[in-house]
Structures are given as structure tokens and as C-alpha cells.
Copies of this chain bind each other. A is one copy, B any other.
């Protein structure tokens, strides 16, 4: 790990733990560490000392410490990687995602720099589930695009998009050039399109989702599914996305500022 400096143990000292307090020790530790993160003492991407050292430094058992760390992982502030270490993950703010507006507009009001990481574009055969969603035959060709959005270099959103392949013969070349799905649509003669249905549900991150978002597996997340139609009412895109529970707020029906 090149750019992940380890935080010195002394950073965590200075607490007044004790059975006298009405709050459980693990919760006091959780609040203390969260304070260090929000106060800027623990920067996103930096690594915490090992659990053994940290527990000794705080004067508690590893199990007690782990209860605090567990909570902070559920809240999306920390990520643990087995055999590697625990890292600060916290994105500093919450997104407001407005339905029916391109992603770029949604985050324009946000001050931090947003970047996009295209993981892959590839052609696959539609399984039964996907075929129904795209209104095509099972086994028909689809284009599968995966992207990850990063806020201050921390991933906040992973997104899988599926398109009927025969409709977009030049998908890869246009996308490689412009990095924009809207431009791919336009290059294939689709000027107007709209999101016809959006579904939001909750769950717990799978191993794959957790890897993409740099979360601990099992962390609570939002799942977002949406369908786009062209001007003729034909389905041209199925989107399936995943957000950490605490990194986003969805807004429907309001005009953007």
C-alpha cells in the first residue's frame, strides 16, 4: 500500500472510558473514532493500526473494539480487508440524486470532484431475467457496461447498464471515444429517451458489490433499478445500481435548483 499511511496509535488516546459512564464502552470508542474521522485527523484512504495494537492502546479487549469497528463499517465510515487492514472510507457528504436527470446534473451542486471509472464494456447473452427486463428473447445479445462513480477518490456508486446489442452495433467505439451513454444513443439515431420506471429497495452488500464500493461485505446498501425507453416506447436500457446506505438521498418530483 503506497498511499495509505498508517495512523499512529497515539492519535486514538485521550479518552475517559469507564464503567461510570452510562454509555457502553464500544459506543464511546465508536463516537471517538468517528470524531477523529469527521475532525480530519483520520483522512479517507488512510489505514488504522492493527486491531491488537488499537485494543491495547485503548485499554479494551479486541472483541469490545471490534464492536465499535463493526458499527462504523455498517455506517460506511470504515472498510476492513482481511489480511490487509482497516481503512477510512468516509465520503464527507450525501448525494442528492434527482430522478429523470442525468447523473452529471445531479451532482453539479456538490462541491467535491466526481470521477467515473468504466470497469468494462462487453457483449453477453441475455439470461431469462434480463431478457424479460429488456423485452428481448432469452439468449439474445446484450451490451453490458459497468461503471463506478468516485467522490474524492472514494467509490460511492456502482452501476451496471444493459442494452439490446442489435440496436447498438457501434456501442464500444462510440463509448470509448466519448464515455457517454447519451452520445451512444445519439450516434444510433436515438435523440429522445426517458426513464419510465425506477425502483428502490434495500439490502446487504454482496462480496462483489462490496469490492466495487470498497465496503465490508454485508454492509447495508440501496439497490436502484430503472428502465429507459426511446421515443417509440421501446426499452433501450436497463440499469441496476448499488449505493452505500449513508451516501445518498433520492429526490423525486422536485425541480433541480
Contacts and interface: CB of A to CB of B under 8 A. Distances in A.
Interface of A: 63, 71, 74-75, 94, 99, 195-204, 218, 220, 222, 245-246, 248-254
Contacts of A204: 74-75
A106 to B, nearest CB: 13
Nearest to A249: B201
B200 A254 contact: no
> Copies of this chain, how many?
2
A253 B203 contact: no
A52 B75 CA distance: 30
Given A200-B200, A202-B220, A220-B202, A252 B249 contact: no
A contact patch SS: strand
A94 B198 contact: no
A256 to B, nearest CB: 12
B251 A203 contact: no
Contacts of A201: 94, 248-250
Nearest to A222: B202
